[in-house]
Chains A and B, each alone.
Chain A
Amino acid sequence: MQYLSKLLILIFLNIAFFQISVQAAEMKEPLHPEWSFEGPLGKFERASLQRGYQVYTEVCSGCHSMELLSYRNLMEEGGPEFSEAQVKAMAAAFEVKGAPDEYGDVVMRPAILSDKFASPYENEQQGRAANGGAYPPDLSVMVKARHGGADYVYSLLLGYEDAPEGMILDDGVYYNIYAKGQKIAMPQLLSAGAVEYSDGTEATSEQMARDVTMFLTWTAEPKLEARKRIGFKVITYLLILSFLLYFTNKQIWKESH
């Protein structure tokens, strides 16, 4: 422990006081599609969020957890807004650990609205073991945890190309033009037709990337719509108030010069 803390101290001393040599492998400027949630009155596209949930469940959730979300969130205002019956049915498709039974054994039971999203792994170690040592990060707040946000996530999902000649990639490492150092441990998964949309939308890779990024933006910022709606009212109110105060102030000071 003592040794470890000394080692740690050495590491950040290096960071804090000496030159940090960032291997700033050139990061490519991400794509910037038009997002409906941008702008002062932006909103999510309900249908896109619902498709995005499908992409997440059928593709991403095989490896990535989403620990901060509960099934009930899927029917809340400002989200995908599935109906209660739909969400109950969707939740029931997942098995989660129930309370211990009378013999103390933990029994698996179908998930209900109040359950958190089922995770693909028991723990981080299991996740690492299943993915060649690279732990697939939790996706709950991913869009807010990466520089470039939704644009970056969208671009990354579409950034897979053949590695340039002469570049040797280790096993389980893939070439992606938007990844740091152009290398990423996540394989390309969103190839055309990877999911079959229940609403009949054609599942091109762009469409899936768009939908799942929209969904991930919502999971990271579930109150985005309410925030912008309230913000618009607050600023309008403050603007009117500031006008009134400006003229009141002028009136008061009229005789004081």
Chain B
Amino acid sequence: MSENYVPKSAVGKWFNERLPLLDLIYGHLMPYPTPKNLNYFWTFGGILTFCLVTQIVTGLVLAMHYVADADLAFASVEHIMRDVNYGWLLRYIHANGASLFFMAVYIHMARSMFYGSYKEPRELIWIIGVFIFLLMIATAFMGYVLPWGQMSFWGATVITNLFSAIPIVGESVTNWLWGGYAVGSPLLTRFFTLHYLMPFLIFALVILHVWALHVPGNNNPEGIDVVKGSQDTVPFHPHYVVKDLFALVVFLIIFAGFVFFVPNLLGHTDNYIQANPLQTPEHIVPEWYFLPFYAILRAVPDKLGGVILMVSAIAILAFLPWLDTSKVRSAKYRPLYKQFVWLFFANTIFLGYLGAQVADGMYLIMGRIATVYYFAHFIVILPLLGYIEKTKPLPKSLSEPVLSKEEKEIIASGATT
């Protein structure tokens, strides 16, 4: 961001002198010094931005044809699928896009956890990220309600009923949310408006997320500080623009595979049955990306307790920068943490598996154990590791670990390359 943008055209100059917007965008996209050793896990920021924009653009067009009314919603979605030009494509992109969005965000978060990107001085980037995640959850949940199929309706019913667990005012709050005494048109309409609003809030937070990121600059797989502009960094363009583009296209191939060849694989067949308040599906399951949290919710035999635990499971992420007491960022140099973080990922996936099962017998017991472990990772293991773990020595610069022995000796002897 040190280099200033010099517009070439007269109009560009005129504009930039009055509002240095081009300057700002240029600085963040072109010369921005980036560590040269970022691996492909660092491409998910760009991929996620693409996902958000795709959801907004396809959603905008879908909203032109969708009708948010309990009697008409289901048929209006089918109208999109049948009569709107390429409506089937827009809807399948939007529905699968939500799934792919979550796939990408989970990889993005896991990367941050593995390489300690949330640590000082990047705590705020992480916290903004947690809020983005929270908004994504709300947006995706409300979006899933809109087609007004059986899972939409009963999912909305189960989740909105969680608010009735709040002592004393619970029932009033629930009725207020519903806009009546049951899930119906008033709820559908407000979910639609909120589903339309929230992506723009996410977009605003994404700008803050990137802004905050560009203050200290990117973390990197070694987890050490790099000197901006040194030989450890490269300008964002073209190095990472092209690398991110390549990763995005690979991601798009997977995306297209879902959209064009198995568009309903990640959805539930019951959602092609119009909502029926008189008929409960025998097994209500949320979308796959909520399953770990659903498992935590069901692990507690008490409703209020379950709700508190589920909310805590997400809220605790915001405190991660302080729960992790180790000064070393990257798991590469933390032999114990490296094992525990993988265990944590495996446990979360296991929770997701349990969330899809009927909470009964062994599944319920395993769900409880996995839930306890989920929290133990944050409040017991992470704080302790910082004190008992013997970390490996950190390299002095990014060049060091990639240099051969001879090259290191040359540098050590004082020669310059």
**Chain A residues within 8 Å of B, Cβ to Cβ:** 1-2, 4-5, 8-9, 11-13, 15-23, 40, 67-68, 73, 137, 140-141, 144-147, 149, 220, 222-223, 226-228, 230-232, 234-235, 238-239, 241-242, 245-246, 248-249, 252-253, 256-257
List chain B residues, Cβ under 8 A from A141: 78, 272
List chain B residues, Cβ under 8 A from A73: 82
B408 contacts chain A at the CB level, 8 A cutoff: no
- A17 close to B242 (CB less than 8 A): no
Contact A253-B270, Cβ < 8 Å, known A140-B78, A227-B89, A234-B260: no
- B158 close to A15 (CB less than 8 A): yes
Q: What mask results when residues 253 to 273 of chain B are scored 1 for a CB within 8 Å of chain A, else 0?
A: 100110111011000011011
Distance in Å: Cβ of A127 to nearest Cβ of chain B: 14
Q: Which of A2, A144, A242 interacts with B249 by CB under 8 Å?
A: A242
List chain B residues, Cβ under 8 A from A17: 298, 300-303, 306
B161 contacts chain A at the CB level, 8 A cutoff: yes
Given contacts A20-B282, A146-B269, 16 further A-B contacts (CB under 8 A): A5-B181, A11-B280, A12-B154, A15-B284, A16-B284, A16-B297, A17-B298, A20-B360, A22-B283, A141-B272, A145-B272, A228-B261, A231-B259, A232-B260, A242-B253, A246-B246
Contact A19-B272, Cβ < 8 Å, known A252-B238, A256-B36, A256-B234: no
B250 contacts chain A at the CB level, 8 A cutoff: yes
Q: B272's closest neighbor in chain A, by CB? A: A145
Distance in Å: Cβ of B173 to nearest Cβ of chain A: 13
Distance in Å: Cβ of B128 to nearest Cβ of chain A: 29
- B269 close to A2 (CB less than 8 A): no
Contact A68-B161, Cβ < 8 Å, known A230-B260, A238-B252: no
List chain A residues, Cβ under 8 A from B263: 227
Q: B237's closest neighbor in chain A, by CB? A: A252
A9-B175 Cα distance, complex, nearest whole Å: 12
- B253 close to A239 (CB less than 8 A): yes
- A245 close to B158 (CB less than 8 A): no
- A20 close to B358 (CB less than 8 A): yes
A226-B259 Cα distance, complex, nearest whole Å: 12
List chain B residues, Cβ under 8 A from A4: 181-182
B164 contacts chain A at the CB level, 8 A cutoff: yes
- A252 close to B280 (CB less than 8 A): no
| Subset of 22 A-B contacts with CB under 8 Å | A2-B181, A9-B161, A12-B284, A15-B280, A15-B284, A16-B284, A16-B298, A18-B301, A18-B359, A19-B358, A19-B359, A20-B359, A40-B261, A68-B75, A141-B272, A223-B88, A228-B260, A231-B256, A241-B249, A245-B245, A248-B246, A252-B239
A223-B263 Cα distance, complex, nearest whole Å: 12
Q: B162's closest neighbor in chain A, by CB? A: A16
B157 contacts chain A at the CB level, 8 A cutoff: yes
- A19 close to B36 (CB less than 8 A): no
- B242 close to A245 (CB less than 8 A): yes
Contact A231-B249, Cβ < 8 Å, known A15-B284, A145-B273: no
B318 contacts chain A at the CB level, 8 A cutoff: no
Distance in Å: Cβ of B273 to nearest Cβ of chain A: 5
B377 contacts chain A at the CB level, 8 A cutoff: no
List chain A residues, Cβ under 8 A from B234: 256
B379 contacts chain A at the CB level, 8 A cutoff: no
Q: Which of B246, B302, B361 interacts with A245 by CB under 8 Å?
A: B246
Q: A5's closest neighbor in chain B, by CB? A: B181
A158-B243 Cα distance, complex, nearest whole Å: 54
A73-B83 Cα distance, complex, nearest whole Å: 10
List chain B residues, Cβ under 8 A from A19: 358-361, 364
List chain B residues, Cβ under 8 A from A22: 282-283, 358
Q: Which of B88, B249, B280 interacts with A238 by CB under 8 Å?
A: B249
- A238 close to B154 (CB less than 8 A): no
Q: What mask results when residues 287 to 309 of chain B are scored 1 for a CB within 8 Å of chain A, else 0?
A: 00000000001101111001000
List chain B residues, Cβ under 8 A from A235: 253, 256-257, 260
List chain B residues, Cβ under 8 A from A11: 280
A249-B250 Cα distance, complex, nearest whole Å: 13
List chain A residues, Cβ under 8 A from B360: 19-21
List chain B residues, Cβ under 8 A from A13: 161, 303
B198-252 CB contacts (< 8 Å) to partner A: 234, 238-239, 242-243, 245-246, 249-250, 252
B402 contacts chain A at the CB level, 8 A cutoff: yes
Distance in Å: Cβ of B389 to nearest Cβ of chain A: 31
